[in-house]
Structure 1
Amino acid sequence: MWFVPDFKSLSETSLILSLNSCLLLAQSFWLNAIAVLRVLVFFVLWLVCWLPIALPIAKAVKWRFPQPISPAQKLPLLASLYALAPLVLWGIVALEGKGFKDYGLPWQSDLLRSFGGGLAFGSLGLLSLFLLEWRLGWVKRQLPPTESSLATESTETITAQSPVPVLPTLLTTLLIGTWISLTEELIFRGFLLTTLQSDFVPWVAATIASLIFAVLHLVWEGKENLPQLPGLFLMGLVLVLARSVDRGNLGLAWGLHAGWIWVMASLDTLGAIHYQGRVGEWATGIGNKPLAGAMGLLFLLATGGILGLAF
């Protein structure tokens, strides 16, 4: 009786062996690569995976690089980019044989407690900054229009304004801030910082991670974000400090970051403050961006000082 080989089974077995060999080679390369190369590979892989999603979205919202991008165009692109990041990072974590807890994200009650403390500290601290600027006469409070106030306005004003739903706005900006900050902390103070610390002393790793964090914010706004670079760099350092005082966990940094985004996004959406122009932009922030002004930098320094002393 003649033996007839099962070519289908042989091809499937060969394919499995080939895939296993590729995975072993990728794992060997990754584990033996220097930190800077691993960081570069991560960002390139993230970009390559995102482009097939981003190109149709960019076409749908009618945006072409390097044209200026509006918030309405930016949101779906940013959402798709940030939704993809944890998946790419999960693949790397699996390749390393680690878990997200190794990057400072253990899913434990301590993480949520630290997040809550950071959220309160970050949001109240930033509100205190605007309160100080209001007391100095640098900014003016503007209450969002309501239905009753609009009823007394002229027809032209009514058509130009609409009631602002304060509570839904606050909840929406809180959710968005929580999501964006979690993604950025996992990437920059989680994966990036931890990876760099394998080849560099902590302060060098913190400097490089914070510089990358600041520079990558130029991708969306371009030259408009240049005045914010020192503030973004300092912000990155403060968030590195927050992870350090939280015993290597990201909860405190996540909460701080979320609190800052929450307050800024809420005030912008509600139009709650107006800069009076009584002091130069160097103080309050170029282009009304607090990170591009002396007060914003002092606020970050004060936050870092409090973290170092209190924790």
Structure 2
Amino acid sequence: MNRTNKYSQARPQPLARLPAAARVGMFLLTLLALWLPWAIPFYLIWGEVGPVSGLSLGLLYSLFILLLREWGQRVHRQKQPFRFYGLPLSRQLGREAGLGWLLGLGLIGILFGSQWGLGWVGFEGFSGHFLKIVPEGLLVGLGIGFAEELLFRGWLQQELELDYQPNSAVLIQALIFAALHFIRPLEVILATAPQFLGLVLLGLSLGWAKQAWGRRLGMAIGLHGGLVAGYYWVNVGGLFRPSAGIPEWLTGVGGNPLAGLMGLVLLLALAGVMGYRAATAP
């Protein structure tokens, strides 16, 4: 185990001396203990209706952020816990997030532009409701980019890096990231198996992006958010349709580009670039 991480300190707290798996488990159990007393009454009274589900998940993530602050301060003795997890309040973080956002949108443009140029998909044009979904995609991208990066590359990867070598920590969090996005019925898992590899490659890319940009989450948040927003605009906006006779394994099983050959090649290239940049970062 790697106990020489630059954030490691003399750890007076017993929890801080536990293995990473135990610390992660204790954190999640604490989070559930805080959330369930609120979530259970919501579901008992109102059921699993849309607004209640959204409110419950919003409460869960709010509690996660509050617990993360306390965890960083009390367990790891960090005076600035969010900086410890990759979120320093700085203009640099914002610039990196903006650059990542443009990169994410650019990758979506390359993916669908290439398929269009090869004749694999047809361009349907912009519908009348497209302007309506632009702010929706922006909010979805920002929300998912921030939430998932703080969770996986911020908290989880940092906890792992306190015990393991950096690349091992990146790989473990990428596998967990992919697995948690792949909780589905068995028949769906088997039908969309290539998507798991795409999610692993995305998790690796985002983990190395954090390492390459000074252990800050700006690039990872922006890149993740740009990918999500770009795909939202393409998918919900109905900008492209698969051409007849083109197999799904090329364009994406079930219409998901992460489960298609071109999407996997693009993600593999992204992981290679991010991995190289992380390995050569000062």
1:133 and 2:133 equivalent?
Answer: no
Q: Residues of 1 paired with 2:180 and 2:250: CA distance?
A: 25
Cα offsets for 1:174-200 (capped at 9, x unmatched): 122112211111111111111111111
Offset at 1:77? 5.2
Secondary structure of the equivalent of 1:218?
coil
Question: Counterpart amino acid of 2:235?
Answer: D
Secondary structure of the equivalent of 1:274?
strand
Change (3 A) 1:57 1:295: farther
Q: Residues of 1 paired with 2:15 and 2:146: CA distance?
A: 25
Q: Residues of 1 paired with 2:46 and 2:217: CA distance?
A: 34
Q: Which consecutive unaligned segments of at least 5 residues does structure 2 have?
A: 1-11
Q: Residues of 1 paired with 2:94 and 2:179: CA distance?
A: 29
Contact 2:208 2:274 in 1 (8 A): yes
Change (3 A) 1:72 1:86: same
Q: Residues of 2 paired with 1:229 and 1:79: CA distance?
A: 26
Q: Residues of 1 paired with 2:127 and 2:131: CA distance?
A: 13
Secondary structure of the equivalent of 2:13?
helix
Change (3 A) 1:222 1:270: same
Report the counterpart of residue 210 of structure 1 in structure 2.
Answer: 174
Q: Residues 23-172 of structure 1 correspond to what in structure 2 (within 5 A)? A: 28-56=13-41, 58=43, 62-63=47-48, 78-95=57-74, 96-98=76-78, 99-146=81-128, 164=129, 166-172=130-136
Q: Which consecutive unaligned segments of at least 5 residues does structure 1 have?
A: 1-26, 65-70, 147-163
TM-score (norm 2): 0.82
Question: Counterpart amino acid of 1:273?
Answer: F
Question: Counterpart amino acid of 2:176?
Answer: I
Contact 1:137 1:278 in 2 (8 A): no
1:199 and 2:163 equivalent?
Answer: yes
Q: 212, 215, 224: which is aligned to 1:248?
A: 215
Q: Residues of 2 paired with 1:28 and 1:175: CA distance?
A: 39
Question: Counterpart amino acid of 2:137?
Answer: T
**% same residue:** 34
Cα offsets for 1:56-78 (capped at 9, x unmatched): 555677549xxxxxx98975554
Offset at 1:46? 2.7
1:187 and 2:151 equivalent?
Answer: yes
Secondary structure of the equivalent of 2:89?
coil
Contact 2:201 2:271 in 1 (8 A): no
Q: Residues of 1 paired with 2:32 and 2:155: CA distance?
A: 16
Q: Residues 7-18 of structure 1 correspond to what in structure 2 (within 5 A)? A: none
Report the counterpart of residue 270 of structure 2 in structure 1.
Answer: 303
Offset at 1:119? 0.3
Q: Residues of 2 paired with 1:269 and 1:198: CA distance?
A: 41
Q: Residues of 1 paired with 2:51 and 2:118: CA distance?
A: 34
1:287 and 2:257 equivalent?
Answer: no
Number of residue pairs matched by the alignment? 260
Offset at 1:143? 2.7
Q: Residues of 1 paired with 2:224 and 2:24: CA distance?
A: 22
